[in-house]
Amino acid sequence: MSTKSKKTKEEITRRDFIKTSAKVGGAAMLAGNGIGYVWGSDKIRVGLIGCGGRGTGAGIIDCAESSKGIELVAMGDIFQDHIDEAPEQIKQNLEKRGLSFKNIYKVTPETTFVGFDAYKKVLDCDVDMVILTTPPNFRPEHIRAAVEAGKHIFMEKPIAVDPVSVRSVIKSSEKAKEKGLTMVAGTQLRRLESYAETIKRIHDGAIGEIVGGQVVRCSGGMRNWRENERLRSSVRTDMEYHIRRWLFWTWLSGDFIVEMHVHNLDIMNWILGSHPVQCMGMGGRQARTGLEYGNVYDHFSVEYLYPNDVRIEYMGAQIDGFTYRNDQRVSGTKGSAYVHAGDGIIKGENPYQYEGNPPKPTVVEYADMIESIRLGKAINEGRQIAESTMTAIIGRMSAYTGRALKWDWAMKASKLDLSPEKMEFGDLPERPVAIPGILDLI
């Protein structure tokens, strides 16, 4: 190569650096900070897609806390009021953690976008990674577009609400692998040290062969969620009302078993090293019956069958006054194990109890992501979170229809797609609360 055609380090642009970082084998250390950087730039430019409570209250905040050199440079949301409120929300939340708003917030009017196509405009900006914190129904399309644009992706859980969309994410994940892009999911429980240490021991045989287990997550009804938008205004279209109250509409959230309890089912998949092969579920809606709670259930119960005839019982509820529980348990031929938040306990032939004060897992997941980008060692959690999301989806599908179903059928043959025909403000067809035995299995 001639000296005329050879690029010097100074001539390598910041975008060149990020695009080629996955191919670089070494890293230089910036003096004094102890973090490995690939030469070329110490900045990671972030785009935020979804500027509601999660995006401005955790997403970019956790990301900025995790690593030095984070800059938020572009934002997009469907709603103008979310965009208008985002800067102040981000400022307050950064300052609560002792982080500099001035050094992190670099968004300009030219890199601020509103509308259903806002995500495309964020991806067109000079960003290295995007944080996806919109309602889950939008996630598969945003993931697909981000991979096509060559951006690293942090995707909040769950990543889909139906089998058609799960398959889309798996396809995008494979493309991301080919491109050397990092894809990290917001399943932060996997980065709890108490879980990791306990599950490692389970995998090493501490409780012998697993014969069964239980997942329980029961809590309040979330009746105060977005209280100011609880009652429908006469000036709002069906689409706007649904999106603003997305937690309570199955087509947007997947119902709470998918939107929230995917965390717990993901842990069980991790413990067992597999996804279930079939399930049978039931559920209903007894406490949250008002129109303001959309068409979701408030309780579920599902029996999941895993390989080797291991049966896992899941019980979940969102009902005020219900006894609170949030844990995972498995029994084996040599003992039993229990994991919950900061706890990890093994009883039996090889007793163990976790003792420690681990770092915040929501920050660790971003630290892992930023490090992978800077070192050019891509992390890809696409299939992992897709399978955990599908685990929750088949539980909901079984409960909604009253039908037992197999994993292979759902993953390969189900045509269920909950997305509306048109993604625009306007009327939406009525989707009533599912009644088992009446709703068809699609």
Residue-wise DSSP of 161-186: SSHHHHHHHHHHHHHHHHHT--EEES
Checking if the pLDDT of 11 tops 80, the result is: no
- pLDDT tens for 273-317 read 999 999 999 999 999 999 899 999 999 999 999 999 999 999 999
Q: What is the pTM of this model?
A: 0.90
Q: Which of 188, 150, 123 is nearest to 381 (CA)?
A: 188
Q: Which of 187, 113, 183 is nearest to 143 (CA)?
A: 183
Residue with tokens 């008002």: 290
- pLDDT tens for 78-94 read 999 999 999 999 999 99
The reported pLDDT for the residue numbered 41 is 59
Is residue 375 within 8 Å of residue 38, measured between CB atoms?
yes
Phi-psi region of 322 (alpha: psi -120 to 50; beta: other; left: phi over 0): beta
Burial class (CB in 10 A: 0-12, 13-18, 19+), 291: exposed
Residues 6+ apart with CB under 8 A from 197: 344, 354
Report DSSP letters for 303-317, one per residue. Answer: EEEEGGGEEEEEEEE
- pLDDT tens for 120-136 read 999 999 999 999 999 99
Q: Which two structure tokens, joined as six digits, stand for 136? A: 């889950």
Question: For residue 230, what pLDDT band results from cuts at 50, 70 and 90?
Answer: low
Is residue 385 within 8 Å of residue 221, measured between CB atoms?
no
Q: State the number of CA atoms in the 13 A half-sphere of 380 facing the CB.
A: 21
The reported pLDDT for the residue numbered 231 is 67
- Comma-separated ranges of CATH 3.40.50.720 domains in the chain: 12-189
Q: What SS3 state is found at 298? A: coil
Q: What SS3 state is found at 78? A: coil
Is residue 384 within 8 Å of residue 275, measured between CB atoms?
no
Residue with tokens 């960003």: 127
C-alpha 417/C-alpha 419 separation (Å) is 6
Checking if the pLDDT of 260 tops 80, the result is: yes
Is domain 12-189 classified as CATH 3.30.70.2860?
A: no
Q: Which of 382, 310, 339 is nearest to 147 (CA)?
A: 382
C-alpha 437/C-alpha 440 separation (Å) is 8
Is residue 211 within 8 Å of residue 406, measured between CB atoms?
no
Bridge partners of residue 335, in order along the sequence:
348
- pLDDT tens for 199-226 read 999 999 999 999 999 999 999 999 888 7
Is residue 153 within 8 Å of residue 181, measured between CB atoms?
yes
- pLDDT tens for 18-42 read 443 333 333 322 322 333 333 345 8
